[in-house]
Amino acid sequence: MGQVSMTVRMDSQLKQQFNELCNEIGMSVNTAINIFANTAVRTRSIPFRVGVYTSDAEDDALKAFREYRAKMIASDSPELTLDEINEEIRLARKDLANKKKTTL
């Protein structure tokens, strides 16, 4: 599957806020848009349940993601592919589901 470029037009203030949010989460704008597009296609819906902190388990997952991302940046490894990102998401969801089962 080849990669192509895409231009997105948005208000400059929105772009700055989006850049800041992506940095806070620990990913690039490009990665965030790719995750959004992939999820929308896969679920055939617009995935708008997004947040930074909603529960302890999700806080733990976000912390682990940020630590992993920092290690990747420090290691001079290339950015994750979409397949690698999806695998990380799958594993985080599995871990979250397991934590929910143990708290019930």
Band (pLDDT 50/70/90 cuts) for residue 43 is: confident
Helices 56-74 + 12-25 axis angle, to 10: 90
Residue 19 has pLDDT above 80, yes or no: yes
0.85 surpassed by pTM? no
What integer best gives the mean pLDDT of the chain?
81
Comparison of pLDDT for 38 and 100, the residue scoring more: 38
Summarize the confidence of residues 38-45 as an average pLDDT: 86
CB count, 10 Å around CB of 45? 9
Summarize the confidence of residues 29-48 as an average pLDDT: 85
